[in-house]
Structure 1
Amino acid sequence: MISTTVLDDGVHEVVVSEPPVNALTVAGWFGLAEQVRAAGAAPSARAVVLRAEGRGFNAGVDIKEIQRSGPDALIGANRGCFEAFAAVYECPVPVIVAAHGYCLGGGVGLAGNADLVVAAAGTAFGLPEVDRGALGAATHLSRMVPQHKARAMMLLAETATAEELLGFGSVYAVVPAEELVATARDVAARIAAKHPRVVRAAKESLNGIDLWDVRRSYRYEQGFTFELNLAGVADEVRAGFGSGS
């Protein structure tokens, strides 16, 4: 389930709850994109908080759905992720991601495209794609860690902690898990208290001076996922994979 609540002062909160690990189906990714876009489009919106319930923030795509449904699910997952990541990046008001537990695969795509990230202590960020027979979201990981760190994390499928990312400046704050929601809401409220037209202009201008086109860059990455699937390599790797990630 993905739901949106309007908090005080124009803060819209989008919450993902898809047990057991918040690995989203094709419909889930498109649904998330729709709700983030709707939140940002609301005339009253001044900031958006994106968070999740359960064991972790996001475990990426539902691999089991792809195993069951084949190419159509793969195409849908790629397009759904593309839309959800773009919805966060293109949201006309700032998006604050509140991550806890783990932020993997598509979770990195969401966090990497957000304006600010707050995280619970010990949250693990990573791209397990190489171990899943796929690629993608290196575009977004590269916005969160230095280049050689990103390469090591991707090639070795290793994770980095919220504390490490705090040192890189890509995580704004690391707090105890029980304080995460309140912290994210407080950050959003502080933004919402500023002049809305100025904040919207700041968001648009920051996107306008970005060093690379995140949409085009991510779409380029997705082409290699299709290539691996057409070659049969992805099926070979996924055959030994037992849970959604």
Structure 2
Amino acid sequence: MSITSKMHHDGVRAVTMSYPPVNALPVAGWFAVAEAIQAAGEDPDTRVVVLRAEGRGFNAGVDIKEMQATEGFDAILAANRGCYLAFKAIYECPVPVIAAVNGFCLGGGVGLAGSADVIVATEDAYFGVPEVDRGALGAATHLSRLVPAHLLRTLYFTSRTITAQRLAEFGSVAQVVPADQLDEAAFAIADEIASKDTRVIRAAKEALNGIDPVDVVKSYRWEQGFTFELNLRGVADELRDDFVATAPSSAE
């Protein structure tokens, strides 16, 4: 289980998540993503970052089983802090971040992809935020960057998912490709960006963040406040216990 970061070629750095079986990141994983992205942006040789994953899907969110195995509120506090820092690191990374999404992208996965500058996805990829089923709130900030306002509310309240192809129709996913072409497509866009003057691209990233209509970092922190309330009330624990009791085993 790891987060790795290596220069792929010519200023394009790949940050890869590998937490089998479903890339549900434990607390340490979220902090590791934040550290890897932050270090990539601070490296003057890095011109573009491709955030990708190994395995069955891009990301299944927070490791709820780890959270429920921990007494008190330490796990939820750490997970929320880790997610906040990971999403913030991607959004504020001085160079563009391309999310290469394979398979499922759920909960915190939408936070990762929605914080990125470009999304490329496989034909079988789908996105969703099932937070209300887990007694939490969050990543609506990032889902709102992918879909129109009323569809956001429908997806959020129902925990429904949406396909990459549908998101491509909205313009939020740049390209949908067969699974075996995902890396090729993501790195092709990365190469195109990396070929530009990095001084201009870094300035453009900062400028585009500055004109966003919503402060993504503060907006997500607002959402997290309601997650803390639901945990203090005991609602979140009840729903997470139900999830753990009915979730398939890792072997399955």
For residues 112 and 170 of structure 2, the distance between their equivalents in structure 1, rounded to whole angstroms, comes to 18
Unaligned runs of 5+ in 2: none
Q: Secondary structure of the equivalent of 2:15?
A: strand
1:11 corresponding residue in structure 2: 12
For residue 5 of structure 1, report the CA deviation from its aligned partner.
Answer: 1.3
For residue 239 of structure 1, report the CA deviation from its aligned partner.
Answer: 1.8
1:190 corresponding residue in structure 2: 192
Unaligned runs of 5+ in 1: none
Q: 1:110 aligns with which of 109, 112, 136?
A: 112
For residues 240 and 84 of structure 2, the distance between their equivalents in structure 1, rounded to whole angstroms, comes to 22
For residue 9 of structure 1, report the CA deviation from its aligned partner.
Answer: 1.2
1:202 corresponding residue in structure 2: 204
1:62 corresponding residue in structure 2: 63
2:91 corresponding residue in structure 1: 89
Alignment of 1:1-245 (within 5 A): 1-69=2-70, 70-242=72-244, 243=247
**What residue identity is the alignment partner of 1:131?**
D
For residue 7 of structure 1, report the CA deviation from its aligned partner.
Answer: 1.6
TM-score (norm 2): 0.95
**What residue identity is the alignment partner of 1:235?**
D
For residues 211 and 51 of structure 1, the distance between their equivalents in structure 2, rounded to whole angstroms, comes to 27
Q: Secondary structure of the equivalent of 1:171?
A: coil
For residues 222 and 122 of structure 1, the distance between their equivalents in structure 2, rounded to whole angstroms, comes to 30
For residues 7 and 123 of structure 1, the distance between their equivalents in structure 2, rounded to whole angstroms, comes to 24
For residues 91 and 214 of structure 2, the distance between their equivalents in structure 1, rounded to whole angstroms, comes to 13
For residues 71 and 184 of structure 1, the distance between their equivalents in structure 2, rounded to whole angstroms, comes to 38
For residue 122 of structure 1, report the CA deviation from its aligned partner.
Answer: 2.1
Q: Secondary structure of the equivalent of 1:134?
A: coil
**What residue identity is the alignment partner of 1:46?**
R
For residues 197 and 6 of structure 2, the distance between their equivalents in structure 1, rounded to whole angstroms, comes to 22
Q: Secondary structure of the equivalent of 1:239?
A: helix
Q: Percent identity, aligned pairs only?
A: 62
For residues 117 and 241 of structure 2, the distance between their equivalents in structure 1, rounded to whole angstroms, comes to 37
Q: Which runs of 4+ in 1 moved over 4 A?
A: none
**What residue identity is the alignment partner of 2:177?**
V
Q: Secondary structure of the equivalent of 2:13?
A: strand
Q: Secondary structure of the equivalent of 1:240?
A: helix
For residues 48 and 236 of structure 1, the distance between their equivalents in structure 2, rounded to whole angstroms, comes to 38
For residues 14 and 204 of structure 1, the distance between their equivalents in structure 2, rounded to whole angstroms, comes to 21
Q: RMSD in angstroms over aligned alpha carbons?
A: 0.9
Alignment: residue pair count: 244
| 1:30-89 deviation per Cα after TM superposition (whole angstroms, max 9, x unaligned) | 011000111111110110000000000000001011101141000000000000000000
For residue 8 of structure 1, report the CA deviation from its aligned partner.
Answer: 1.5
| 1:92-141 deviation per Cα after TM superposition (whole angstroms, max 9, x unaligned) | 00000000110000110011110000000021100011111111000000
For residue 181 of structure 1, report the CA deviation from its aligned partner.
Answer: 0.6
